[in-house]
Structure 1
Amino acid sequence: MDRFKKAVELSFRIRPAGIALAAVYALSCLASRQFSLDQFFLPAGIRAAALLIVPTRLWPYLLLGEYAYFATLRIPMIDTYGLDWVILASTLLMPMAMLVVHLHRRKMPSEAATGLWLLSLSICTALFVPALNLSISYLLWSNPPPSNLLDAVDRTIFGHFAAIITLVPLAFLWSRRHADPGWANRFVAPTTLAILVMLILGLCMQLTSASAHTTRTHMVLLAALPAIALTFMHGWRGAAIAIPLLTLPLHGATPSTGLPSSFDLGTFATQQNMAVMSVALLALGSSISYHHQRAHARWQGERNALRLARSSHQSSERELRERAAHLKHLGEGMDSSLIEMVSWLKSQGHHAVANSLQHASSVHSRLFREQASLVYPTGLEQVGLYVTLQAGGACEIWSDTHRVTQPRLMGNPCLLSVDLQLASYRSLIEAVSLFLELENGQLCVRTRSGRAGGRRGIVAVVSLLDRGCTLSTRTTQQAVERLAGRVLAYGGAIHCKGNRLRLVLHESITHASPVAA
């Protein structure tokens, strides 16, 4: 029996924060009702916005606040409209709104579909909640309802929709404030200017006389321009900020009789246009956010691919560096053995053999070091790219072909990182080898390293000395196939035009790790 009691026992802990939330919600609805019109019913917008901002576990307190709000309003109406209407029309509206919001929250939108999701939520809430309220009223009112039913439906549904589409996007923006915290840092000055212009135009609406409907309409059209600018800059987020800045000043400037059911026909057409404009802004913002997300994903993918390619090249260079160090160690061992052999031959009186062996060993040792430097230019880490090109194995190979003129090297490459200098070295060696293989005539090599904006880099040009010649199609294709991987990994580019091949490699200054010259 005790186990059964524990199984069916329900516990509900009253939270002080929840009671405060209920009180704030009820007071907000009561206060906003005093400033509401039939064509702009603020409590409906507050209801939908609160359901978006408040976590689901605290929804019972919102329901409590809703009942307190209706109790204040409708208990005095029992004698006029009957107890049944007061109870049903007060208790069913918030559950209907909760059901609509819950069904939408089950499938939270992606960044690209947020605007359309907000439109769906606003339209459904503005249709089902007022429809339920009107149905109960027309079924249970003891007094005859107004004669023009369609007019009452039009005003009520539009008034709910105008308020909901004003507050719901802003509430959803607040609930998703951590999804993309960096969006507010984009276009700070233009965004501030657009908001300031809309605030000034909203103030002008308040200062306009109540009968100047045409003037207010013109101001609304002018305010639509910075609203469109905000949408273009920030997508659906810009629309969520712009819509309240458009609609709330117009609502505040709308003439009112002071009664909760006040209606102004002169502003109604402008508010209808404003509702259409709000829908268009959210749809446009959703499309812009979608394409921005796709572009950002594509940019991120390209960035990751380049980062992985660069990491792969750096890993290969580390392996080649270890191999070159091993070759250097072997070369030093062979040189040491040959020196000992030469010394022994001289001590035995074989001076001619010793001198011949010493000469042959020095030649082969030099050739061995040149080939080892082509595997990995270890001197580049100490003396930089230009000295390595002028004194390494590549320079000897170019000189032996008698086709490469003295390179013209300008700038200080030691300000670049070792990785970028290595990539430049490999690309330049490969480009010259390609020209020597596929082209005829003399070659000219020119480089310039320096800084442009926030980046450091190097430009290398390999060209035919004869300016009347043009690179063959095969050379151009091979250059792109054999050089693009390394060059693009460092954010560079390859340009083949006329008689020359131009390579550009660069890096961010913050990522550079210069070597000392």
Structure 2
Amino acid sequence: MRGEWWKNGLQLNLRIEPIGLVLAVIYAFACWGARKLSLDQFYLPAGIRVAALLLCPPRLWPYLFLGEYAYFAQMRYPMIDKYGLTWVILASVSLMPTVAMIVRLHRRVVAATTQAWLLSVGAASAVAVTSLNLVLMHLLWPTPDVPLLTGAARYIVGDFIGILTVVPLALLWASRRTELTWTGRFLTPSIAALALMILTGMASVLIPAESATVKTSLQLLMALPAIALTCLLGWRGAAIAVPSLNLIIGLTTPKPYPLAFDPTTFTTQMVMAIASIALLLFGSRITHFYHHYRIRDDGEKNALKLARNSHIASEKSLRERALHLRKLGDGIEISLKEVVNWLKSQGHHEIASGLLNTATVHSQQFRTQASMVYPTALDQLGLYVALHAGGVRESWDQSNRVSRPRLEGDPCMLSTGLQLAAYRALIDAVSLLLEHEFGQVMVRARCGGRASQRGILVVVALLDSAQPLSDTTVALVNEHLAGLPLAYGGVVQCRRNRIRMLLVETPTHSSNRAAHCDSADSRTSDFGNSRALT
């Protein structure tokens, strides 16, 4: 019965994980080794405590508590006679739960904010731990020998610097799979900055103790490589530079006895603590805006890719429709020929001749319109042949306003999608000028490649250079013609009397179609040299 638990007793299931015991041992030894390298103003165990709580899941925190208590037991057991058993127990068991509660409260905002939350964790942990230590000292020590204000400043700065030395490296390690890979672009500046900081730190050690000003100046100079690394790499640069900066200064500080205090270096460390805060905030903002830029850039690239794919899918649909229309035309011609032959066999030669002439004219017009739905000649013979032999050329000739196109370069080096985009953009530009402008129209195109790009430059212009394009035409060009060139990384420009369109692609996006194109008369040229077309 639930109400009789006090009679039957309670059953507790205690599960001990071997990995937890190993974690406790590793944590205890890490704190012990870090304390050997620490000062009051540079206390590394505080950083190890926070880093362990951040890296380990909450289910393993009890083992961290166990490791902390084991570390304090071996360190403070000899202090019982001097400071009392009450202080040893309370001062040992209260620190880790306090910091764990602070980390637990910050875990809710870790995933939703930038890495600047680390400063809040560090400052809160340093203030809480220092406050507990000083309060217990003054309450439980027989004769407290640590001044309250001086000790608070020293311990808070020491814990905070220790946290900024260990935790950024731990977070950098934890995010190694989610961040970008460490390529030469990241390794080279990191190694260079670390080398400069180490050399400057070694030089400050060699300075005599009498030259404190020179030593301080050299220590402050180490901030310059740290700033440069933060500017280059953002949060990752700050996560490398700030711990390295604090570690070099802390390890090069004289240690006449364990947990010693050096007032000269303490001033420098306070300056570096402020600089570390600024670098972490600055690096965090750089990374934050870089991620937003990368997301937006990826979105733009995906949008352009979708636009290209949509255009290609639309062209495939038009191609199928054009082939179907051609089959229908062939079937109609065959049927008409059978009718004409039957009429001739019945002696109606005049009717048969008239029907044949009419059918020939309409068949030619039907094929012209079918070729304008989709230029099938472009698939095998390239863009230029499609412009010369297709129905578009006949439509231009009938207007008596379009001069013979000047086409240069080899379009077969371009992908089919890019050629189709150039084809649609070119005929749309000519149609706009024929509908909204007066006078003759000239068409020029140049295919070529430069560096890692291939493309085509198209110019559709009025023959009269003194006649500028109207505002209506310019507005229609920007509204209807900018889409396709933009999808292929190009631009559309209206300059005085002409429309200039550039469509480009990388060679990996273009297919090798030279074997399928009959372009013996074409000449490859550089599309970047556009003066000949303008």
Bin the TM-score by the shorter chain. Answer: over 0.9
- Tell whether 2:358 aligns with 1:392: no
SS in 2 for 1:458: strand
- Alignment-derived partner of residue 48 in structure 1: 50
Tell me by how many angstroms 1:369 deviates: 0.9
SS in 2 for 1:114: coil
SS in 2 for 1:457: strand
Gaps of 5+ in 1: none
Tell me by how many angstroms 1:448 deviates: 1.5
Q: Report if the CA contact (8 A) 1:445-1:462 is conserved.
A: yes
TM-score normalised by length of structure 2:
0.91
Q: Matches of 2:57 and 2:207 in 1, distance apart?
A: 41
Q: Matches of 1:147 and 1:189 in 2, distance apart?
A: 46
Q: Report if the CA contact (8 A) 1:459-1:502 is conserved.
A: yes
SS in 1 for 2:376: coil
Tell me by how many angstroms 1:33 deviates: 1.1
Q: Which amino acid aligns with 1:391?
A: A
- Alignment-derived partner of residue 466 in structure 1: 464
- Alignment-derived partner of residue 73 in structure 2: 71
Q: Which amino acid aligns with 2:318?
A: L
Tell me by how many angstroms 1:7 deviates: 11
Tell me by how many angstroms 1:512 deviates: 2.1
Q: Which moved more, 1:82-91 or 1:342-351?
A: 342-351
Q: Report if the CA contact (8 A) 1:202-1:245 is conserved.
A: no
TM-score normalised by length of structure 1:
0.94
Q: Report if the CA contact (8 A) 1:450-1:456 is conserved.
A: yes
- Alignment-derived partner of residue 203 in structure 1: 202
CA spacing shift, 1:44–1:163, aligned 2, 3 Å: same
Q: Which amino acid aligns with 1:69?
A: Y
Q: Which amino acid aligns with 2:33?
A: A
* Among 48, 56, 59, the residue aligned to 1:57: 59
Q: Report if the CA contact (8 A) 1:418-1:514 is conserved.
A: no
CA spacing shift, 1:303–1:345, aligned 2, 3 Å: same
- Alignment-derived partner of residue 447 in structure 1: 445
- Alignment-derived partner of residue 339 in structure 1: 337
For residues 393-418 of structure 1, give each alpha carbon's deviation from its aligned partner in whole angstroms, at most 9, with x where no partner exists. 11111112122111111222122221
- Alignment-derived partner of residue 217 in structure 1: 216
CA spacing shift, 1:20–1:479, aligned 2, 3 Å: same
Q: Which amino acid aligns with 1:390?
A: H
Tell me by how many angstroms 1:494 deviates: 0.9
SS in 2 for 1:153: helix
Q: Report if the CA contact (8 A) 1:416-1:456 is conserved.
A: yes
- Alignment-derived partner of residue 122 in structure 1: 122
* Among 484, 487, 494, the residue aligned to 1:496: 494
- Alignment-derived partner of residue 420 in structure 2: 422
- Tell whether 2:254 aligns with 1:252: no
Aligned-residue CA RMSD in angstroms? 2.2
Tell me by how many angstroms 1:16 deviates: 2.8
Q: Which amino acid aligns with 2:434?
A: L
- Alignment-derived partner of residue 273 in structure 1: 271
Q: Matches of 1:237 and 1:7 in 2, distance apart?
A: 54
For residues 468-492 of structure 1, give each alpha carbon's deviation from its aligned partner in whole angstroms, at most 9, with x where no partner exists. 2211111111001011122222222
Tell me by how many angstroms 1:352 deviates: 3.4
For residues 30-53 of structure 1, give each alpha carbon's deviation from its aligned partner in whole angstroms, at most 9, with x where no partner exists. 121122111111111111111122
Q: Matches of 1:189 and 1:450 in 2, distance apart?
A: 37
- Alignment-derived partner of residue 36 in structure 1: 38
Q: Which amino acid aligns with 1:132?
A: L
Q: Which moved more, 1:506-515 or 1:27-36?
A: 506-515
- Alignment-derived partner of residue 166 in structure 1: 165
- Tell whether 2:382 aligns with 1:380: no
CA spacing shift, 1:8–1:432, aligned 2, 3 Å: farther
- Alignment-derived partner of residue 84 in structure 2: 82
SS in 2 for 1:145: coil
- Tell whether 2:19 aligns with 1:17: yes
Q: Which amino acid aligns with 1:83?
A: L
CA spacing shift, 1:196–1:404, aligned 2, 3 Å: farther
CA spacing shift, 1:198–1:6, aligned 2, 3 Å: farther
Q: Matches of 1:249 and 1:354 in 2, distance apart?
A: 103
Q: Report if the CA contact (8 A) 1:239-1:285 is conserved.
A: yes
Gaps of 5+ in 2: 518-534
Map 1:355-366 to 2 at 5 A. 355-366=353-364
Q: Matches of 1:409 and 1:195 in 2, distance apart?
A: 57
Q: Which moved more, 1:486-495 or 1:352-361?
A: 352-361
- Tell whether 2:111 aligns with 1:109: yes
Q: Which amino acid aligns with 1:369?
A: R
Q: Report if the CA contact (8 A) 1:205-1:250 is conserved.
A: no
* Among 303, 313, 316, the residue aligned to 1:305: 303
- Alignment-derived partner of residue 243 in structure 1: 242
CA spacing shift, 1:147–1:77, aligned 2, 3 Å: closer
For residues 272-329 of structure 1, give each alpha carbon's deviation from its aligned partner in whole angstroms, at most 9, with x where no partner exists. 1100100000111122122212212221222232233223322322222222122111
Q: Matches of 2:400 and 2:377 in 1, distance apart?
A: 25
Q: Matches of 1:77 and 1:440 in 2, distance apart?
A: 102
Map 1:277-292 to 2 at 5 A. 277-292=275-290
SS in 1 for 2:447: strand
